[in-house]
Chain A
Amino acid sequence: MKVQTSAPWQFRTTAQVDPNKVNENMSYVAKLYEDVLGKRYGLSQITLPLYANASSGYKDGYTQEELTYRLVAPDTMWIEGIYLDGATVSGDCRVFLIDTATGLPPSDVADVDGYVVSATTTEATTVYANQILMNAGATYAFILTKNTTANFTTQKLDLTIHLKTDRFNTSGTDQYVALGYNGLFLNEATSTDATTFLTPSNSVSSTVSASNAQQRSLKCMAFVAHTFTTSTSANVLKWTIPSTDSNKGRSKIVRIDCYAVFDSNGAATHDRVQWQLKDKNTIVQLTAQIEMTGVKFGSTSQVVSIDMSQSSSGVESNTGQDCTLSLSRVDASTAVCAKSYCYLWVE
């Protein structure tokens, strides 16, 4: 619906005020209110590989954390669907979604027994369309496990998660104010008081003005690296966050969440993995280090979550100038990092 900045009926000084014309103007505004403010949902999707690389899949002999992807919801959001695509080398498996605070699936998960990937060496796809609420600040985990007693090895298995955000509900409470029609229209019983015109118009104006601030609708980008050491080429552990063709099309990185898990190899008890985001001027905007201290590898992942909303309004690329995300090992250790992954949240 096209928005005009003047109401349909424009009154003239010498003309009588027709209440019906006033009502039509109010009706126009009311329809626009519902149409424009009704556009509230944003969608994005991420794909997480449930295999290490082209020559190595996930196996049930791996530690649980190696078979897990954790995800923190910065704002209230919904999983709109889960899509599994791929094949196994042997065995079948399933993906469980749990709330890490309870260890149980979220209450609105329809497939409490998990999302099954049947044993097949032929590429198969499965879609689970189930709206699942993710509470702001809560941590969720997607865990790959056996489906039966048989062992499994994935060949190529992509877990795609569809996410929906609501700009009027970022913290669990719906902030949308429905526009009531009562009292907005003139009739024979309407008093000839100035407030007849002013009260509803001021109320609508302030509500619409407040909605201007509700523009945050986060989208997610995911980056994953498997099985890397201190000798792994930096060119493999670097990602470009591309610039856009227009400054108007730029998205802004407002948050970064990073995770790392080490496998059971190596004897070191102290190691660090570092994700670093550089802006268009190659200036480091954020360094997130994940540290394993005094813990034997294989059973634990450390988490660093840094909210970049506290920085200078986030990081964004300019036309022709990319941002760069890089991953590295900080310490001179021979231990293998089984997996490290990072989520960038943009608006």
Chain B
Amino acid sequence: MAIVNTQTIAASDLNAIWASTLSSLQTQNQKLPATYWYQLDFQDPTSSDATILLNHNVVMRDDCILAEVVVVAGNHAGTATITVDNGFMIEPLTVSVVGTGATYTKATRNYTTNPFPLQVLTRGSILTVSLATTAASRGSRVQVSLGVRSYWRPSI
């Protein structure tokens, strides 16, 4: 029974007065962060390239979880090994993919095989994504997708 004048307030009605509000707040509070894929490509890499051309250094703007590293080699004639590290990780992450030239090859997905150790990237830390390749000729792309998850922030 609703709370109305001239009627005795039932304890159950008084207890229920905030029920819908709390239920909505719980739903919002439990919203899981979706993974978005932060892209860092290597276009036309070869084994003879200078080190500077075989790495990306980026500063992270947010505390976030690195859910997975996905590597795809397009037209790449060689083994491409991607290493992701920020100096504070549990262990640097490596993903390798063997390209055989005129092919589009995806590395084995981590989440389907080995357990992925929890990797937390902190705001302000510098993440280094580096490529080691055996490819001797140009004309390929090594795509690196970092699966990043972070919650909404109350303030920045």
Chain A residues with CB under 8 Å of chain B are 1-7, 10-13, 15, 17, 22, 25, 29, 32-33, 35-47, 49, 52-55, 80-81, 83, 85-87, 123, 125, 127, 155-156, 158, 160, 162, 164, 167, 193-194, 197-198, 201, 204-205, 208-209, 211-212, 215, 217, 219, 221-226, 233-242, 244-245, 248-252, 320, 322, 346-347
CB of B59 within 8 A of CB of A249, answer: no
Q: B11, B39, B64, B147: which has the most chain A beta carbons within 10 Å?
A: B39
A241 and B41 contacting across the interface, CB-CB below 8 Å: no
In contact, A244 and B67 (Cβ under 8 angstroms): yes
A58 CB, min distance to chain B CBs, angstroms: 13
Do residues A221 and B36 form an inter-chain contact, with CB atoms below 8 A? yes
Interface membership of B88, Cβ < 8 A? no
In Å, the complex CA distance between A11 and B62 comes to: 43
> B1-60: which residues lie under 8 A (CB-CB) from chain A?
3-5, 9-12, 14-15, 17-46, 49-50, 52-54, 56-60
Q: Is the CB of B59 within 8 A of A194?
A: no
Per the bound structure, the CA–CA distance linking A157 and B156 in Å amounts to 27
Question: B117 contacts the other chain (Cβ, under 8 Å)?
Answer: no
C-alpha gap A219/B151 in the complex (Å): 12
A245 to B27, CA, bound (A): 22
The 6 A-B pairs of least Cβ separation, nearest first, read A245-B111, A235-B74, A162-B61, A251-B34, A39-B152, A53-B44
Given contacts A194-B4, A235-B74, contact A240 B139 (CB under 8 A): no
**Closest CB of chain B to A208's CB: distance in Å?**
5
Q: Does B85 touch A at the CB level, under 8 Å? A: no
Q: Indicate if the CB atoms of B57 and A217 lie closer than 8 Å.
A: no
Expressed in whole angstroms, the minimum distance between the Cβ of B90 and any Cβ of chain A is 18
Task: Evaluate contact between B10 and A13: CB separation under 8 angstroms.
Answer: yes
Expressed in whole angstroms, the minimum distance between the Cβ of A204 and any Cβ of chain B is 6
CA distance A86 to B58 in the complex (A): 10
Residues of A within 8 A of B72 (CB): 239-240
Q: In the complex, are the beta carbons of B39 and A222 less than 8 A apart?
A: yes
Note all chain A residues with C-beta closer than 8 A to B64: 43
Report A-chain residues with C-beta under 8 Å of the C-beta of B14.
Answer: 11, 17, 22, 197
Q: How far is the CB of B136 from chain A (nearest CB, A)?
A: 13
Give complex CA distance A25, B18 in Å. Answer: 8
Q: Are A43 and B62 in contact (CB under 8 A)?
A: yes
In the complex formed, the residue of B with least CB distance to A253 is B36
Q: Which chain A residues lie closer than 8 Å to B50 at the CB level? A: 155
**Does residue B145 face the partner (Cβ distance < 8 Å to A)?**
yes
Known: A208-B21, A235-B75. A81 touches B61 (CB 8 A): yes
Majority secondary structure of chain A interface residues (helix, strand, loop or mixed)? mixed
CA distance in complex: A17, B11 (Å): 9
Interface residues of B (CB under 8 A from A): 3-5, 9-12, 14-15, 17-46, 49-50, 52-54, 56-62, 64, 67-68, 70, 72, 74-75, 102-104, 106, 109, 111-112, 126, 138-141, 143, 145, 147-156
Residues of A within 8 A of B43 (CB): 49, 52-54, 225-226, 236
Asked if residues A33 and B75 are in contact (CB atoms below 8 Å), the reply is: no
Q: Is the CB of B42 within 8 A of A54?
A: yes
Residues in B neighbouring A54, C-beta threshold 8 A: 42-46, 49, 53-54, 138
**Of A198, A221, A236, which contacts B37 at CB under 8 A?**
A221
Add 12 more A-B contacts to A29-B18, A241-B37, A249-B67 (CB < 8 A).
Answer: A6-B19, A13-B12, A29-B22, A39-B154, A49-B41, A54-B54, A55-B44, A85-B56, A208-B24, A221-B36, A233-B102, A250-B35
Q: Among the listed A127, A158, A234, A347, which residue makes an inter-chain contact with B34, where contact means beta carbons less than 8 Å apart?
A: A347
Asked if B151 and A39 sit within 8 Å, CB to CB, the answer is yes
Flag if A245 contacts B36 (CB, 8 Å): no
Q: Which residue of A lies closest to B9 (CB)?
A: A17
Write out the residue numbers on chain A whose beta carbons fall within 8 Å of the beta carbon of B49: 54
21 residue pairs of the A-B complex, CB under 8 angstroms, read A4-B26, A6-B15, A6-B18, A11-B11, A37-B25, A39-B29, A39-B151, A40-B153, A43-B150, A54-B44, A125-B57, A125-B59, A155-B53, A156-B52, A158-B57, A233-B74, A234-B104, A235-B74, A235-B141, A240-B106, A242-B109
Residue in chain B with minimal CB distance to A204? B21
- Bound Cα distance from A54 to B41, whole angstroms: 11
